[in-house]
């Protein structure tokens, strides 16, 4: 089986500063992989490298056995973003359509309907269960509705790989879990591989095939059960880390002098892992 994504000894640099080195990762067809780690660990940079929008400092990345920039046609991308301007007068379905042919030159004439394209757009909108609100302006939709539309946009060209940068960010918990279920469904039924940056592993935990945990300039790759453990994370951070299992099955990572956040703490826009916001390489007195 050919790998969808292959990273060999990859290093990432931003502004001359090395963020990551010696990252090895392989994503196979239909796999659901999460990139986790503290802010500034290089998760988004890695996604941009997979799109060919950021240079590879060392090592080798192939996407569908091609250079990343040459594989874009078969890759769907959902960038990390704030919500759309509430005043933006653009239909949600038009946004999906742009994902299909927005990069074509010219100006689409209204009387020259492209039936195949229109059918593909409504098909993918139905797939993400967004038909009910697809004709409304994107800015009027809720965060979860916008995210469904954006997933449809990323899927519309039938990509073999989806790159999602924090698609669950700033959504409430029920919406997080329904979007996570949708992604898992797409992964298995549409045979699309997903590489997704996440701040919190819990909503997607049960769907994940593998995790790449980035911290301290390194990456640990494995199944969730292998990676989210006290010993693995302690070794990665170089400081004692504990993983607590909450009663609802979710995990809480604890290890810094700061009080650990609990899962229900969703009023903070930056999620639950407050301890991640600190520089993990800084020596701690513990």
Partner 1 sequence: MNSFPSPHLSWNVVTDVRALLEYPFMVQAFRAGLLVAVLAGVVGWFMVLRRQSFAGHTLAVVGFPGATAAVLIGVSSTYGFFAFSVGAAIFISMLPNAGGSRSAESAVVGTVQAFALAFGFLCYTWYGGFATSIGALLFGSFLGITTSQVGALVVVTLLAIGLLAAIGRPLYFATVDPDVALANGVPVQALGTTYLIVLGLTAGAVSQITGALLVFALLVAPAAAAQRISVRPHISLAWSVGLAISIVLISLTLSYYYPYPLGTFVTTIALLTYLIVRVVRR
Query: Is residue 257 a contact residue for partner 1 (CB under 8 A)?
Result: no
Q: Quote the least distance from Cβ 103 to partner 1, whole Å.
A: 5
Query: Is residue 91 a contact residue for partner 1 (CB under 8 A)?
Result: yes
Radius of gyration over alpha carbons of the chain, in Å? 19
Residue pair 221/227 in contact (Cβ under 8 Å)? The answer is: yes
- Give the integer Cα–Cα distance in Å for 110 and 133: 22
In the range 94-153, which residues lie near partner 1 by CB under 8 A? 94-95, 98-99, 101-108, 110, 135-137, 153
Residue pair 74/65 in contact (Cβ under 8 Å)? The answer is: no
Query: Is residue 90 a contact residue for partner 1 (CB under 8 A)?
Result: yes
Q: Which two tokens stand for residue 180?
A: 């996570």
Residue pair 73/157 in contact (Cβ under 8 Å)? The answer is: yes
Query: Is residue 55 a contact residue for partner 1 (CB under 8 A)?
Result: no
Query: Is residue 211 a contact residue for partner 1 (CB under 8 A)?
Result: no
Residue pair 253/228 in contact (Cβ under 8 Å)? The answer is: yes
Query: Is residue 267 a contact residue for partner 1 (CB under 8 A)?
Result: no
If one counts every other C-beta atom within 10 angstroms of the C-beta of residue 191, the result is 11
Q: Determine which residue in the list 51, 58, 243, 254 makes contact with partner 1, applying CB under 8 A.
A: 51
Looking at the Cβ atoms of 15 and 106, the one nearer to partner 1 is 106
Which listed range, 88-96, 193-201, 208-216, 226-234, lies at the site for partner 1 (CB under 8 A)?
88-96
DSSP state of 85: P
Residue pair 213/193 in contact (Cβ under 8 Å)? The answer is: no
Burial of 266 (0-12, 13-18, 19+ CB in 10 A): middle
Q: Determine which residue in the list 53, 67, 117, 262 makes contact with partner 1, applying CB under 8 A.
A: 53
Query: Is residue 198 a contact residue for partner 1 (CB under 8 A)?
Result: no
Q: Determine which residue in the list 24, 65, 88, 258 makes contact with partner 1, applying CB under 8 A.
A: 88
Number of residues in contact with partner 1 under rule CB under 8 A: 30
**Pattern 6-45, partner 1, x by CB under 8 A:** ----------------------------------------
Query: Is residue 167 a contact residue for partner 1 (CB under 8 A)?
Result: no
- Give the integer Cα–Cα distance in Å for 131 and 122: 7
Looking at the Cβ atoms of 72 and 272, the one nearer to partner 1 is 72
Looking at the Cβ atoms of 70 and 189, the one nearer to partner 1 is 70
- Give the integer Cα–Cα distance in Å for 139 and 88: 5
Residue pair 165/47 in contact (Cβ under 8 Å)? The answer is: yes
Q: Quote the least distance from Cβ 93 to partner 1, whole Å.
A: 10
Q: Which of 160, 208, 181, 159 is nearest to 34 (CA)?
A: 208
Residues making contact with partner 1 (CB under 8 A): 51, 53, 72, 75, 77-79, 81, 88-91, 94-95, 98-99, 101-108, 110, 135-137, 153-154
């Amino acid at each position: 089986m050919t790998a969808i994504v292959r990273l060999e000894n990859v290093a990432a640099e931003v502004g001359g500063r090395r963020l990551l080195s010696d990252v090895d990762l392989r994503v196979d067809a239909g796999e659901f992989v999460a990139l986790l780690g503290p802010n500034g660990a290089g998760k988004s940079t890695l996604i941009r490298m997979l799109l060919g929008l950021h240079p590879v400092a060392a090592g080798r990345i192939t996407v569908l056995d091609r250079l990343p920039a040459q594989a874009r046609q078969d890759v769907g991308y959902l960038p990390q973003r704030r919500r759309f301007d509430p005043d933006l007068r653009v239909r949600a379905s038009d946004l999906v359509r742009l994902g299909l042919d927005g990069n074509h030159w010219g100006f689409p004439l209204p009387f020259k309907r492209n039936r195949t394209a229109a059918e593909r757009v409504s098909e993918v909108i139905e797939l993400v269960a967004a038909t009910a609100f697809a004709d409304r302006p994107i800015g009027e939709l809720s965060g979860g509705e916008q995210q469904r539309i954006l997933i449809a946009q990323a899927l519309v060209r039938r990509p073999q790989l989806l790159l999602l940068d924090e698609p669950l960010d700033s959504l409430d918990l029920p919406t997080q879990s329904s979007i996570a279920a949708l992604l898992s469904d797409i992964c298995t039924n549409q045979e699309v591989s997903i590489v997704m940056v996440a701040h919190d592993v819990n909503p997607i935990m049960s769907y994940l095939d593998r995790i790449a945990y980035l911290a301290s300039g390194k990456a640990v790759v494995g199944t969730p059960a292998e990676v989210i453990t006290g010993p693995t994370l302690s070794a990665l951070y170089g400081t004692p880390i504990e993983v607590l299992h909450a009663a609802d099955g979710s995990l809480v990572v604890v290890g810094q002098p700061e009080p650990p956040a609990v899962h229900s703490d969703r009023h903070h826009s930056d999620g639950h892992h407050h301890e991640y916001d600190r520089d993990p390489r800084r020596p701690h007195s513990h």
